[in-house]
Amino acid sequence: MNRDRNLRRLAEAAAPWDVLVIGGGATGLGVAVDAATRGYRTALVEQSDFAKGTSSRSTKLAHGGVRYLRSGEIGLVRGALRERGLLERNAPHLVRRQPFVIPIYRRLDLPLYGLGLKAYEWLSGRLSFGASQILSVAETRRLLPTVKPEGLRGGVLYFDGQFDDARLALTLARTADAHDTAIVNYACVDGLLKENGRLRGAVIVDAETGARHPVAARVVVNATGIFTDEIRRLDEPTVEPMLAVSSGVHLTLDRSFLPGDHALMIPRTSDGRVLFAVPWQGHVILGTTDEPRAAAELEPRPLEHEIEFLLEHAAEYLTRPVTRADVQSVFTGLRPLVRAGNSAATASLSRDHVIAVSPSGLVSITGGKWTSYRKMAEDAVARAAEVGGLPRRPCATENLRLHGASSAGLRPTDRPPATEAIHFAHYGTDARALERLAAIEPSLDTPVHPRLALRAVEVVWAARTEMARTIDDVLSRRSRALQLDARAALEAAPAVAALFARELGRDRRWIDDQLAVFDEIAHGYLAHAKEPAAPHPRAVANR
């Protein structure tokens, strides 16, 4: 991907684009891929970096949503399970099957959860990830060696999916780019263009230069997640909000808290949620919460009681207490939930998606789940084509291999070891190019920090091919360093900045500015931060 080239295409287009997508998270990128592969001339703009917000801050699970069975949302679960199977098939380098164990401490819960997980498995049909089974006490302790043994009655094993959310978002961006989408990050929408009351495009501001560009389009899709209502207000200043925002906090722990390959699922918390402790990239992710938030932010910080909530519930199930000192990173995502009357309880709101069309023709899609991004995009593009008067064309994404996926559909670990280095497996077929780059310049084949897997060659690759523009882009989303070990990411920032400045031709002042911005961002990921801070002045929504 090349930002400068795409920005020129966006600004200099001689004819209106068929589809202009606002928002570069999971939903917006999915819409761009769907529209482009149907043959529509497509453009996408993102106010910050791809997946900067909610889409890079999930629990890293491609799942149907076990807890939604309890609320009777069978259709939501069945649809998400189908999409989970398609995700694994179309992005096998990023999505894998993950075994989970529910430890049972009340004897009557054993058959109850056993039947529930059988139903979950049955709903996945031919795309099942594996058979669930009831476990003995000994089997449960073998698979979860750090679970509390007192009163343990057994467990239930089931399977779901795991993925790297930010890397999958970037993969969607590269897939859209490969299908001729003019995709640009750090491009804000500053206003909408109308003609006789009908929406005809948007005014885009290049965040790097301040240049303004009117971009004409036959239909505009608002896929901005938690900022959906802000774009809707650009179209209709007095429109009623359709979103309720909630926060989901995650703690990153050392792998010793949950050794082995099996994740822990806590089936019911005091607020009615489920919690997960999931092995991920050599660490353990513990989450998540569901707390109402008053406003959307690009860099939300955890509330004190959310951290305490997770620590307290972990202590109920793990033999080793988790303290703040054990938390290597804490990250917070904000969910765009569709309002249900005046309810203040976000945990009870549906995770299904909604498409709304304004009188001027703005198509807004919001709600939903990461796992279901493809189906959300399919529905949104079909509606947008109607609104924009585009020729009807079938969706082509159900069997579309995403960027980096092998044409054979094999996982990287299924290929001969000589084909791809394990460290670069999440790059899929791009791994060979990284290996060649490291061979040409051996100094790049070194970690940027002793506690991080990130290598210098990946920083260079991010600058050259993945449209990374800032230190945060590299340490938060091209790699997951900040979410895995915030202190190590802070310490690695100067080395990353030096590599990046060399690639982009930046000066010392740029490096100093970047380090200052990243320092403020990263301190929000340190568990010792007792109070939520105000959002960074640069972290503002589309205006």
Per-position DSSP letters for 479-502, written without gaps between them: S-HHHH-HHHHHHHHHHHHHHHHH
Burial of 359 (0-12, 13-18, 19+ CB in 10 A): exposed
> Does the residue 136 lie in any domain?
yes
Q: Quick one: 42 and 95 in the same domain? A: no
Per-position DSSP letters for 16-34, written without gaps between them: -EEEEEE--SHHHHHHHHH
Phi, psi of 497 (to 5 degrees): -60, -40
pLDDT at 499: 96
Q: What is the pLDDT along the chain (543 residues), one digit of tens a residue?
A: 999 999 999 999 999 999 999 999 999 999 999 999 999 999 999 999 999 999 999 999 999 988 888 777 888 899 999 999 999 999 999 999 999 999 999 999 999 999 999 999 999 999 999 999 999 999 999 999 999 999 999 999 999 999 999 999 999 999 999 999 999 999 999 999 999 999 999 999 999 999 999 999 999 999 999 999 999 999 999 999 999 999 999 999 999 999 999 999 998 887 777 899 999 999 999 999 999 999 999 999 999 999 999 999 999 999 999 999 999 999 999 999 988 654 444 444 455 789 999 999 999 999 999 999 999 999 999 999 999 999 999 999 999 999 999 765 444 444 333 333 457 899 999 999 999 999 999 999 999 999 999 999 999 999 999 999 999 999 999 999 999 999 999 999 999 999 999 999 999 999 999 999 999 999 999 976 444 433 333 333 332
Q: Quick one: 303 and 325 in the same domain? A: yes
Provide the CA 24 distance to its chain's centre, in angstroms.
11
Phi, psi of 397 (to 5 degrees): -95, -10
Contact 225, 27 (CB under 8 A): yes
Q: Quick one: 357 and 327 in the same domain? A: no
Contact 243, 338 (CB under 8 A): yes
> Does the residue 529 lie in any domain?
no
Residues 6+ away with beta carbon under 8 Å from 314:
257, 275, 277, 286, 321, 322
Q: Quick one: 259 and 314 in the same domain? A: yes
- The whole domain housing 107 covers 63-162+247-332
Q: Quick one: 97 and 220 in the same domain? A: no
Vertex 469 angle, CA 466 and 470, to 5°? 125
Q: Quick one: 75 and 158 in the same domain? A: yes
pLDDT at 340: 63
Phi, psi of 450 (to 5 degrees): -60, -30
Domain end (from 332, 365, 399): 332
Longest dimension (CA), the chain: 71
Q: Quick one: 145 and 69 in the same domain? A: yes
Q: Could you give the 3-state DSSP secondary structure of residue 98?
A: strand
Residue with tokens 């900040």: 482
Q: Quick one: 158 and 262 in the same domain? A: yes
Q: What is the rounded distance in angstroms from the CA atom of residue 226 to the CA atom of residue 237?
A: 17
pLDDT at 537: 30
Residues 6+ away with beta carbon under 8 Å from 530:
304
Residues 6+ away with beta carbon under 8 Å from 14:
none
Q: Quick one: 185 and 256 in the same domain? A: no
> Does the residue 9 lie in any domain?
yes
Residue with tokens 């190590």: 488
Q: Which two tokens stand for residue 320?
A: 């080793």
Q: Quick one: 71 and 214 in the same domain? A: no
Q: Could you give the 3-state DSSP secondary structure of residue 218?
A: strand
CATH of the domain at 213: 3.50.50.60
Q: Could you give the 3-state DSSP secondary structure of residue 183?
A: strand
> Does the residue 177 lie in any domain?
yes
Q: Quick one: 362 and 237 in the same domain? A: yes
Kindly compute the dihedral angle of the four CA atoms of residues 485, 475, 531, 272, in this order, to the nearest 10 degrees. -70
Give the total number of structural domains in the chain.
Answer: 2
Q: Quick one: 69 and 44 in the same domain? A: no
